[in-house]
Amino acid sequence: MSANTPCVGVQERLIEALLAHDEAAAPDLAHSESCDACRTLRDDLLHVRAGLGTDAEQEPAPAMVQRTLLATRSALRRRAPARAPLPVGFKRELARLLAAPLAVLPLVLLWNWTVLAFGGELLAAWLPTAAIVALGAAYALAAGGSLAAVFGSLPVVAHGRTQQRLREVTA
């Protein structure tokens, strides 16, 4: 069998067919008929196949299955009552959701700072200082609160979306 005969390929495919429980392809069988080396392999593989059988399953003793079930149950109960694990893909989803809000955050902060700094000066002509301070504080609280609400909700949204996707994948 030299490198320029088809035997190498034929023999590889005969083995692949055995591994996949398939019949060998007709051209390979035809070649084997007229080639000693490949015919010998084909015949040997029939023996190997017959010897291996196909039965992947073997029934364990029922008593052992029962013991196993008891052991797994107690392992399940003993397992640290850990907080629910973060679903797979959560971090990626959160990073994706954070990208846009983080990008505009500097602009939002700059805007709020401008309002506080120059708004106070403008209003000074009409309102007493105490009222301006109160207004400024209320504005800062409202702005800070909405930022916290936006960023605080993102992990919740990311968690929900990831779980939804996992349900779809495994449905």
Residue ranges in contact with another protein by CB under 8 A: 12, 15, 18-19, 21, 41, 44-45, 47-48, 50-61, 64-65, 67-69, 71-73, 75-77, 79, 82, 84-85, 88-89, 166, 169-171
Q: Which of residues 10 and 94 has its CB atom nearest to Zn ion in the complex? A: 10
d(CA 94, CA 115): 31
| 32-66: burial string, b at 16+ Cβ within 10 Å, e else | beebeebeebbeebeeeeeeeeeeeeeeeeeeeee
Q: Smallest distance, Å, CB 38 to Zn ion?
A: 3
Q: Residue type for 3, please?
A: A
Q: Which of residues 91 and 104 has its CB atom nearest to another protein in the complex? A: 91
Q: Are 14 and 42 in contact (CB under 8 A)?
A: yes
Site string for Zn ion, 117-156 (x = CB under 5 A): ----------------------------------------
Give the footprint of Zn ion on this chain (CB under 5 A). Answer: 7, 35, 38
